[in-house]
């Protein structure tokens, strides 16, 4: 499929909007602080509603990429939402990014309005839900679910598209931006990128931190209509993008099979960790014999949802306690993040069901430095991922950097591929409770004796430093800037293209300007 006729310029037709750099305007900028950019530096509009002060892993990944792009000659202009619209905000976290951030408002989404009105008026009687079927009959319930599924395609953040598009066009003109980069989820970010790429004709790189339509949707209604709509939107994005960067090789390989597009368009740049965040933020773990570490601490960081249930772990811990292999007074399980409910069940009730109520502690999301400290001080770091074989949780790379033992309760897939390569982890199936129990027993015995367990290969772990990985993002932007677009080199071998990107020599670090902008939208 070619570029979208509605949004992308055809080969013989100019873009609807031409920015100063395309029309020959001077490519220099003097900020209000009096700093001037030179023509050698280029600017990329980084489109992501997920950015600090949000605590989400996606927001942190985008902030890390933005911090290091200037080292490679690219000044990112961040296009995101105002702080009050951020998910799980941490007011103290500014993301460590000193460059330009353009923040906009958001048009309320119909589903948000509906849910607010329904909460105010109650779910019974004459609530707003009656307009979409009262749910008492099967037909009414199906109609409502179908309508909600379409409204939530691709997500409930599409109200950001109008203000983001207007602010994006202003930013492109004001800062003479030459490239676009969008990162998702949220999938709305790519729809903003698609719109801006179509209006301006600028080269566009798509960054997929998760699969879009290749995995079951989580926490939203799905129908045949919504599935077809999202697949159509994904095809538009994949076709119009100049490069698509996935974070696992399994996802990259699948997209090459699904889309009849040049294989070189799809590349893999894994997620990672930011070494700078660990310098001084995460002290070495306290030895097991110290007064502060009288308990064996298992830590899970993040969210629990479908496919991420602690039930197999709780079952294994109960077995160990009943067998006398793990005194309950030795044990503490910390679930940090959005961990109150999973699959419709309160996690605290699940823990009580297994007699672990006094051992399991559920905490709200922590600040970034405290999150890293808790990782480094844990005796066993927990990963849970069942049935998601294309993804690797972003926290995995921070777990590896923490240097602590890892227990990955997961099915075969990208996560197991990674950990089998790096070492430093027990990888067990969610259905194999005896194997989970054996891994915990081994880790507990090592803790009790003060012994160390085999760690991940440090040479492999250092390769996931975000500073290094951002160089590969810059290489993709460079290749588009040089006119080496995938569709012009269909005969180039896949391995050759990837080797050029990965072996590229990058320029020395350079400075960047600072500016904060809030759009009146």
Residue 348 tokens, joined: 């605290």
β-strands 36-37, 29-30 pairing: antiparallel
- For the entire predicted model, the pTM comes to 0.81
pLDDT in tens, 183-218: 999 999 999 999 999 999 999 999 999 999 988 766
CATH topology for 275-462 is: Rossmann fold (3.40.50)
β-strands 100-104, 29-30 pairing: unpaired
pLDDT in tens, 357-380: 999 999 999 988 999 999 999 999
Average pLDDT, integer, range 56-76 = 96
The CATH superfamily holding the domain 29-108+157-272+468-518 is Glycogen Phosphorylase B; (3.40.50.2000)
> Among 43-57, 173-187, 220-234, 342-356, which is the least confidently predicted range?
220-234
pLDDT of residue 95: 63
61 closest CA partner among 376, 381, 395, 385: 395
pLDDT at 419 over 60: yes
Higher pLDDT, residue 513 or 361: 361
DSSP state of 264: G
- Cα(92)–Cα(484) distance, rounded to whole angstroms? 42
CB-CB contact of 273 with 401 (8 Å): yes
385 closest CA partner among 415, 345, 420, 362: 415
pLDDT in tens, 275-288: 999 986 544 554 44
Residue 47 tokens, joined: 């489109």
pLDDT at 19 over 60: no
The residue with tokens 């989404």 is 109
Which strands sit side by side in the sheet containing 380-385, from one edge to the other? 360-363, 331-338, 296-303, 380-385, 406-410, 425-428
CB-CB contact of 442 with 419 (8 Å): no
Whether 275-462 and 29-108+157-272+468-518 are alike in CATH topology: the answer is yes
Q: Which residues pair with 425 in a beta bridge?
A: 406
pLDDT in tens, 438-455: 999 999 999 999 998 888
- Cα(305)–Cα(204) distance, rounded to whole angstroms? 33
pLDDT at 258 over 60: yes
User: What residues does each domain of the chain span?
Assistant: 29-108+157-272+468-518, 110-149, 275-462
CB-CB contact of 441 with 472 (8 Å): no
> Among 60-74, 224-238, 392-406, 470-484, which is the least confidently predicted range?
470-484
């Amino acid at each position: 499929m070619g570029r979208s006729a509605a949004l992308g310029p055809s080969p013989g037709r100019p873009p609807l909007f031409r920015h100063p750099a395309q029309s020959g305007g001077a490519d220099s900028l003097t900020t209000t602080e009096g700093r001037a950019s030179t023509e050698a530096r280029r600017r990329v509009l980084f489109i992501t509603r997920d950015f600090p002060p949000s605590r989400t892993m996606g927001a942190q990944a985008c902030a890390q990429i933005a911090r290091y792009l200037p080292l490679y000659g690219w000044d990112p202009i961040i296009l995101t939402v105002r702080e009050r619209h951020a998910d799980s905000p941490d007011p103290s976290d500014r993301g460590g990014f000193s460059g330009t951030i353009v923040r906009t408002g958001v048009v309320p989404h119909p589903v948000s309005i509906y849910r607010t009105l329904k909460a105010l008026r109650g779910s019974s009687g004459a609530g707003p839900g009656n307009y979409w079927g009262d749910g008492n009959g099967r037909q009414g319930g199906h109609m409502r679910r179908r309508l909600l599924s379409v409204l939530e395609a691709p997500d409930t953040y599409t109200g950001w598209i109008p203000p983001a598009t207007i602010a994006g066009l202003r930013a492109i003109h004001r800062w003479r931006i030459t490239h676009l980069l969008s990162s998702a989820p949220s999938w709305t970010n790519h729809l903003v990128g698609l719109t801006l790429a179509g209006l301006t004709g600028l080269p566009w790189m798509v960054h997929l931190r998760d699969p879009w339509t290749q995995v079951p949707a989580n926490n939203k209604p799905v129908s045949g209509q919504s599935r077809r709509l999202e697949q159509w939107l994904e095809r538009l994005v994949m076709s119009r993008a100049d490069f698509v960067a996935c974070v696992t090789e399994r996802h990259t390989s699948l997209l090459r099979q699904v889309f009849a597009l040049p294989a070189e368009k799809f590349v893999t740049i894994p997620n990672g960790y930011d070494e700078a965040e660990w310098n001084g933020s995460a002290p070495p773990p306290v030895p097991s014999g110290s007064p502060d570490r009288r308990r064996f601490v298992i830590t899970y960081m993040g969210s629990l949802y479908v496919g991420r249930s602690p039930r197999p772990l709780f079952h294994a811990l109960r077995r160990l306690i009943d067998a006398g292999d793990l005194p309950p007074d030795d044990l503490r399980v910390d679930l940090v993040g959005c961990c109150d409910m999973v699959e419709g069940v309160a996690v605290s009730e699940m823990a009580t069901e297994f007699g672990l109520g006094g051992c399991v502690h559920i905490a709200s999301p922590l600040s970034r430095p405290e999150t890293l400290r808790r990782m480094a001080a844990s005796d066993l770091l927990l990963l849970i991922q069942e049935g998601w074989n294309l993804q690797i949780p972003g926290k995995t790379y921070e777990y590896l950097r923490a240097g602590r033992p890892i227990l990955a309760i997961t099915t075969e897939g990208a996560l197991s591929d990674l950990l089998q390569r790096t070492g430093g982890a027990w990888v067990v199936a969610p259905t194999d409770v005896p194997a989970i129990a054996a891994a915990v027993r081994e880790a507990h015995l090592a803790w009790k004796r003060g012994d160390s367990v085999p760690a991940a290969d440090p040479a492999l772990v250092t390769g996931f430093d975000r500073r290094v990985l951002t160089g590969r993002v810059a290489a993709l932007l460079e290749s588009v800037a040089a006119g080496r677009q995938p569709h012009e080199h269909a005969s180039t071998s896949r391995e050759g293209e990837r080797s050029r990107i990965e072996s590229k020599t990058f320029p020395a670090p350079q400075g960047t300007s600072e500016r904060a902008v809030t759009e009146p939208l």
